[in-house]
Amino acid sequence: MSLGPNAFGLSLAILTALFWGALPLALKNVLTAADAFTIVCLRFWVAAAWVWLCPMTRNARRAATPWNRRDILLLVIATVGLGSNFVLFNSSVAYLSASACQILAQAGPVLLLVGSVVVLREPFLPIQGLGVVILLAGMTLFFGTRLGDLAGNGSFLLGLFLGISAAVVWACYGLAQKVLLRSTSPTRIMRVIYPCCALALTPLASPAGLLNANAFQIGCLLFACLNTIIAYGAFAKAMSCWHAAKVSAIVTTTPLFTMALETLGHAVMPAFWPAEAQSLTSVAGAIIAVLGALGIALGPMIRLPHAALHRFAAHRRDRKQHRQQD
């Protein structure tokens, strides 16, 4: 029995959140054997090989047009933004817990939303503004209990800086890609971005360090490389067969997947995943942050029923006026 579009889209969105949630857990183990530049370089080479081996659809080939100067500039911004995001996020995992990295990553969609309103003049709904406030409150609650104790911890503060910087450059990448998607396909964009990022990071990579890695670390590295293909592939497919707001809503639960997997990993393999002390305040902050992200993602969707009711009421008023005139 085949799944319907709703069940299929939901399954793909959950798969995306699961793989993105597991990514920082795998990276924490790999970072003890290789630096962030080496890990990201390998991930981009694997992603580049995959995107070039997969043929473009006929419609994408027909829609392909020569790049103009504006497109090239946007491609440069998107390439630098995505490459920097990968490096900064991978680096932050070395200084923060996996769940903390994912909570910080939720700032990316907020910055993308603000950039879309300011730069692209997209509408900003009140419920999305409320979602931003709730998300920031949740992040403050999640990190607030730690800032007092770790204010003098340079590693923790460096991790915060790297995580926030990763969110900023991801928003820049997202804005550039949004404009490019108006005239070209995502596959064509990634065929440029992935190889360029891989080539740029190759001189900075030091793969010799992986020779001392154990089997578990190599397995985590392979998972991190395949994660880019599987997670982004599932995300793109989910967006094509399900409502974008619903997919975004499921993906915003990624920090909760990370916290659950972190707890499960410690229970099964405590030697590889040390326990992280999570207070009730931190857990509550994570849940509140996810609720805020849900409000941002579902804002346009929640507005649709109200818009439909307004159109229906206006239609009834017009019909009533026509009857009175007759």
Best-predicted range by mean pLDDT among 107-111, 165-169, 211-215, 306-310? 165-169
The single-letter code of the amino acid at 187 is T
146 pLDDT tier (thresholds 50, 70, 90): low
241 has pLDDT over 50: yes
222 pLDDT tier (thresholds 50, 70, 90): very high
Q: Within 10 A of 297 (CB to CB), how many other CB atoms are there?
A: 22
| Secondary structure letter of residue 56 according to DSSP | P
The span from the CA of 269 to the CA of 264, in Å, is: 8
The packing angle between helices 107-118 and 154-180, to 10°, is 40
More confident residue, 234 or 266: 234
Lowest mean pLDDT among 125-129, 281-285, 313-317: 313-317
More confident residue, 219 or 184: 219
102 has pLDDT over 90: no
- Domains of the chain, residue spans: 12-56+64-325
The span from the CA of 249 to the CA of 48, in Å, is: 28
| Secondary structure letter of residue 210 according to DSSP | G
Burial 77-115 (b: 16+ CB within 10 A, else e): bbbbbbbbbbbbbbbbbbbbbbbbbbbbbbbbbbbbbeb
147 has pLDDT over 90: no
128 φ/ψ angles, rounded to the nearest 5 degrees: -70, -35
158: Cα separation from own chain's centroid = 21
Q: Are 106 and 139 in contact (CB under 8 A)?
A: yes
pTM of the model: 0.81
Q: pLDDT for 36-64, tens place per residue?
A: 999 999 999 999 999 998 776 666 555 56
Q: pLDDT for 258-306, tens place per residue?
A: 888 888 887 887 777 766 666 788 788 888 888 888 777 777 666 555 5
Stretch 172-191: mean pLDDT: 86
